[in-house]
Structure 1
Amino acid sequence: MPDVVVVGSGPNGLAAAVILARAGLDVEVHEAESTAGGGSRTLELTLPGYRHDCCAGAHPMALASPVFRAFDLAAHGVDLLAPEVSYAHPLDGGRAGLAWRDLDRTVAGLGRDGATWRSLFGPMVRHWQSVVDFAMSDLRRLPGDPLSGLRFGLRVLEQGSPLWNVRFRDDTAPALLTGVATHAITPPRAIPAAGAGMLLGTLAHVGGWVLPRGGSQAIPDALSAELERLGGKVSTGHRVDTLDEFAGARAIMLDTAPAELLRMAGDRLPAHYAKGLRRFRYGGAACKVDFALSGPVPWQAEGCALAGTLHLVGTRAEAMAAERTIAAGQHADRPYVLAIQPGVVDETRAPAGGHTLYTYAHVPNGSTRDISDEVIAQVERFAPGFRDLILAKNVVTGAEMPSHNANYIGGDISAGAMTLRQFAFRPVPRWNPYATPLPGVYLCSASTPPGPGVHGMSGLHAARHVLRREFGIHTDPLDLLRTPKPA
């Protein structure tokens, strides 16, 4: 039996596994699916030669995450491609807000609200590393740069309150910011959504929202290769039914949702902790629709063809109305649609002349409804003629999401509702959210701080506790990542 077993091979689980292996421990990773990667897998879902990302597509944190900066994805063969426009937000009438990698260029395109955009994001961009370190912390330590943390916090409070429109004079800039905040799958005028909007919006102007060449699979593949180089092992196609399978391991790390911990632990968990896990709320879901296309999407607004990511919902008010409808358990007639067009920078995703379009739309948790018609209508709204380019599509409803990733309960790709309570206390109110009451058993998934996203930070924070508590190793996990250990 190895020293450490990791259940689940998403970026958090693999980051934890690499850290522990570099500390000299024997580590095994067990994955239920046929390929490693969790939400970062890439498969041919429509037609041969058309490669689609199963969940995570664009990666705002790939260049910014402390885990990935220390590990150095590029040095491990991951080619991160940055579109000129990180994200775009088309509006009716052939208009669009464009978040260029260059903050000055973004400001220049926002007219009367350009100065407002600079005042919001300029200080964040200048001190982006401090912002990331604060936002990606375990929320249990004082920030290293309190002033940057304060600046970030005040902006989040403003955009998460009725004051969110005070700065703006036109409709383009607020829509542009709201599109990012709505990644949280919760009404965008809420603290967690505003936090997502400010963090991801900042990173749009710091290196950009990159796409890995060949697909998101490149990130878990790089981590898996490093683990195996160090003597670790990744076993796929193995669904763990009980933690008793690993009774001889000194530590078990679970890159899983709380519901999976409950399933695998059986009746071993103390009643109060099990009750807390059962009370953990899962949020709005995603209906994923992937398209194989005969050509690029014919966006009406100038600049959208350069964007890696687009948010399709219309104005700030339309986004708020759509997300409130989802939160009430109903389907929106015009849902929020997130679209990614990898072909803007990556010619490997489709055969010559072809393109892929990644989309998902927000739906109520547990939705069994195929809303691909609504998705097509939203794309067609801003790109007339899109429908004629469709060669094939693949639909995964919210209810079907757990069939390829058990962490997505009811289709919740955030692994837990982004409420204010669950923003700070994931999955239950505890000073150490990673350690469970079971000796040697830890959670390291997006259901723990800092929450969803491809960043590996939940794995790092959990690994720090495992190293210290179970093995008496006090080396900083980031130092372990920076210093490759000989195989």
Structure 2
Amino acid sequence: MSKKYDAIVIGCGSNGIAAAIRLQQKGLNTAIFEQSPVPGGATKTQELTLPGFKHDVGSAILPLGLASPFFRDLPLQDHGLEWVFPEVAYAHPFTDGTAHACYKDIHATAAQLGEDKDEYLNLIKPLLDNWDKLNKDLLGPLGIPDHPLQFMKFGLKALPSARMIANRYFKNEKTRMFFYGSAAHSTLPLTSLASASFGLVLTTSAHKYNWPFPKGGAGKFFNALVKHYESLGGEIHTGHFVQDIRDLPAAYAYLFDLTPKQLLKVRGLNFNSFYRKRMQSYKYGAGVFKMDWALSEPIPFTSEKCRKAATVHLGFSQQEIEESEKGIHEKNMTKTPYVLIAQHTPFDPSRAPEGKHTAWAYVHVPNGSTTDYSEVIEDQIERAAPGFKDTILARSSMNTVAMEQFDPNLIGGDINGGKQDITQLFTRPVARLSPYSTPDPRVYICSSSTPPGGGVHGMCGFHAAQKALKDHFKELL
């Protein structure tokens, strides 16, 4: 291929296409080279169980897809994207059959919490009120914030562990568990520094935007991104595995939507031994064991609040959730793990044959685990929804090996592109003035192994593109 481009993106996940769109917006001539025959990374929808049942293979609920400062300004609705907003963003059931619901209305949410009502508002409302000042800094690399006072106030709440924040603010165990449900998305022990930040950001985004999902499947979101990119003149070449950068067409900049382990295997990169050694020490986080079901009816949750939520967090005591998220890093899975559930068809019947339903769930597991946790997951769901097992028509399960085969960026089943602890939260993949640049002035990293990390938000790609523009096309900024 003799054609020359201004920039080439390798890998077409949400960050790769975000980088390509940003560069194409600036008038550059770009192309994406993707290993898979279908672009999308972990954002794909397939029939995994029975004909007519559409399942999200990877990402299922996309709260940051709408909250993303970059994606939300793109005209994706012009390319077929339609968001579905459930009445309840997420819910957390308890052993007595009750549940707490996170509504978009923060006051309606707080009203459920009894003696913890005021403290919930004290914790979350300042973040919600200042979200428009905070979100670009929260979803970007470490630097001088645009609004330093608000950012400092957020940091004082975000840097402690989730357990410290929960115990400090809330008297009732149910409220603490409710907060743990969103904080556990960090895939960190809830006693780890900065684990609170995930709960704060995700909860605030729920009150700002709800936790929506794309009608018809997560793949619809990515299809809209692809159509928008192509409408700008961009090219996507699928089925193209890049083993050597010298096999690619000439370009001024190459942006890799790959994790460190994969990038180090690409030949022809001018990386010095010191940088390679630092990249080799990059830490990957826990993996996931993921399941999908074709169901004869909706999940029969005891709590009506859970039936109105697209996302349900399971964990039936504070200690149970803490032990679950701690055990995965000690290769010691509990029999009562934290489970994350997505149920789309009560709000989007287009995903299943008439009268039928789908469900999606995963548990965090040790990186690389090949153990089958199907029974454990279904037992946990049964505790909150007696009779769930009787509704199952067919099931599909994927261990960490299958997850990595589905998307090679999911190393050992790690869906966040690397461990998101305090040592790698802002300095991923290595500590540099720009985490997106490398010793090779042509080469940039735009994957979730750069700030702000995991999630379908595209901001890793956006910031990498901005760095490439600054280095090679400054006149376009």
Give the TM interval when normalised to the shorter protein: over 0.9
1:82 positional shift: 1.0
Q: 1:244-297: CA deviations, max 9, x gaps?
A: 212512211111111110011367421111111110000100011111111100
> Which residue of 2 is the match for residue 117 of structure 1?
120
Equivalent of 1:3, from 6, 14, 21?
6
Structure 2 distance, partners of 1:322, 1:337, is 10
Q: Which has the higher mean CA deviation after the structures are superposed, 255-264 or 131-140? A: 131-140
Equivalent of 1:230, from 229, 232, 237?
232
Quick one: which amino acid aligns to residue 29 of structure 1?
I
- The 5 A counterparts of 1:90-239 are 90-140=93-143, 142-160=144-162, 162=164, 164-239=166-241
> Which residue of 2 is the match for residue 319 of structure 1?
321
Q: Which has the higher mean CA deviation after the structures are superposed, 64-73 or 254-263? A: 64-73
1:164 positional shift: 3.6
Structure 2 distance, partners of 1:328, 1:473, is 50
Q: 1:394-445: CA deviations, max 9, x gaps?
A: 1110122110111111110111011111012100111111111123110001
- The 5 A counterparts of 1:230-379 are 230-246=232-248, 248-265=250-267, 268-379=270-381
Structure 1 distance, partners of 2:138, 2:450, is 13
Structure 2 distance, partners of 1:33, 1:234, is 11
Structure 1 distance, partners of 2:251, 2:83, is 36
Change (3 A) 1:372 1:414: same
Note the residue ranges of structure 2 that are not aligned, 5 or more in a row.
none
Quick one: which amino acid aligns to residue 44 of structure 2?
R
Q: 1:343-401: CA deviations, max 9, x gaps?
A: 13211111111111010111100001111111101110110000001111111101221
> Which residue of 2 is the match for residue 397 of structure 1?
399
1:157 positional shift: 3.2
SS of the counterpart of 2:432?
A: coil
Quick one: which amino acid aligns to residue 63 of structure 1?
L
CA RMSD, aligned part only? 1.5
Structure 2 distance, partners of 1:265, 1:282, is 22
SS of the counterpart of 1:217?
A: helix
Quick one: which amino acid aligns to residue 430 of structure 1?
R
Contact 1:286 1:363 in 2 (8 A): yes
Equivalent of 1:73, from 76, 82, 98?
76
Structure 2 distance, partners of 1:370, 1:185, is 19
Note the residue ranges of structure 1 that are not aligned, 5 or more in a row.
476-487
> Which residue of 2 is the match for residue 459 of structure 1?
461
Contact 1:307 1:344 in 2 (8 A): no
Q: Which has the higher mean CA deviation after the structures are superposed, 220-229 or 319-328? A: 220-229
In the alignment of these two chains, the number of paired residues is: 474
Contact 1:37 1:220 in 2 (8 A): yes
Change (3 A) 1:29 1:384: same
Quick one: which amino acid aligns to residue 178 of structure 2?
L
Contact 1:254 1:444 in 2 (8 A): yes
SS of the counterpart of 2:102?
A: strand
Q: 1:2-30: CA deviations, max 9, x gaps?
A: 22111111111101111111212111111
Contact 2:162 2:183 in 1 (8 A): no
> Which residue of 1 is the match for residue 19 of structure 2?
16
Quick one: which amino acid aligns to residue 115 of structure 2?
R
Q: 1:108-147: CA deviations, max 9, x gaps?
A: 111111111111111111222223122112112x222223
SS of the counterpart of 1:343?
A: coil
SS of the counterpart of 1:358?
A: strand
1:299 positional shift: 0.3
> Which residue of 2 is the match for residue 40 of structure 1?
43
Structure 1 distance, partners of 2:404, 2:14, is 17
Structure 2 distance, partners of 1:337, 1:276, is 34
Structure 1 distance, partners of 2:122, 2:456, is 28
Percent of aligned positions that are identical: 39
Quick one: which amino acid aligns to residue 190 of structure 1?
S
Change (3 A) 1:205 1:13: same
Structure 1 distance, partners of 2:162, 2:355, is 43
Quick one: which amino acid aligns to residue 207 of structure 1?
Y
- The 5 A counterparts of 1:418-433 are 418-433=420-435
Q: TM-score, normalised by structure 1?
A: 0.94
Structure 1 distance, partners of 2:84, 2:124, is 23
Change (3 A) 1:76 1:128: farther
Structure 2 distance, partners of 1:409, 1:224, is 25
Contact 2:166 2:179 in 1 (8 A): no
Change (3 A) 1:472 1:79: same
Contact 2:270 2:439 in 1 (8 A): no
Quick one: which amino acid aligns to residue 97 of structure 1?
H
Structure 1 distance, partners of 2:220, 2:469, is 27
Contact 2:159 2:194 in 1 (8 A): no
Q: TM-score, normalised by structure 2?
A: 0.96
Q: Which has the higher mean CA deviation after the structures are superposed, 228-237 or 446-455? A: 228-237
Contact 1:164 1:189 in 2 (8 A): no
Contact 2:120 2:169 in 1 (8 A): no
Change (3 A) 1:151 1:75: farther
Contact 1:88 1:310 in 2 (8 A): yes
Q: 1:39-92: CA deviations, max 9, x gaps?
A: 111111111111111111111112221101221433443111111110011111
Contact 2:161 2:194 in 1 (8 A): no
Quick one: which amino acid aligns to residue 85 of structure 1?
V
Structure 2 distance, partners of 1:85, 1:127, is 23
1:330 positional shift: 2.2
Quick one: which amino acid aligns to residue 296 of structure 1?
P
Structure 1 distance, partners of 2:301, 2:213, is 20
Quick one: which amino acid aligns to residue 324 of structure 2?
A
Structure 1 distance, partners of 2:409, 2:456, is 14
